[in-house]
Structure formats: C-alpha cells, structure tokens
Amino acid sequence: MPNENRSFEQLINRSVKLVIQEPGQRVHTIYGRLLGIGNGLIVFESKHGIGSYNLQYVVAIKPREREGHP
C-alpha cells in the first residue's frame, strides 16, 4: 500500500471524480476535491460539503482537468 499512497498524494488538492460503493449500496460517483488520505480514510470536499470515506469502499479515483461537473 505504500506505493498506492504515493500515487494518491499526487491527487491531493486536485479536482477528481470519486467512485464509491459502500456495503449494501449501489455504486455512486462524486465530483469534487481530494483533501487528504490517511489511516484508511479519504477526505473529500464536494458541493455538499466535506466528508470522508473508507478507502476499502473506493472503486476509483480519477483526476479531472476541469473544476466543474460535465
């Protein structure tokens, strides 16, 4: 996992697309800014505010060129 954390560090404070699937839930996508990663959590800011997700439920994190939602 250390190599994964280095990859994630490059995305901090960047606009990203976050794909999440929590147990018993459907996959959902959130657009916003990655604030930090550590202790198995990802801290994320979207138009709904700041929140965190357990890294084991993160399906994908993709960098975005633009700040706005397509």
What is the reported pTM? 0.75
Does 53 score more than 70 pLDDT? yes
Domains of the chain listed by start with CATH number? 2-63 (2.30.30.520)
Over residues 29-57, the mean pLDDT reads 94
What DSSP assignment string belongs to the chain? -HHHHHHHHTTTTSEEEEEE--TTS--EEEEEEEEEEETTEEEEEETTEEEEEEGGGEEEEEE-SSSS--
Local confidence band at 65 (pLDDT 50, 70, 90 cut-offs): confident
Over residues 60-66, the mean pLDDT reads 86
Local confidence band at 8 (pLDDT 50, 70, 90 cut-offs): confident
Share of the chain above pLDDT 70, in %: 83
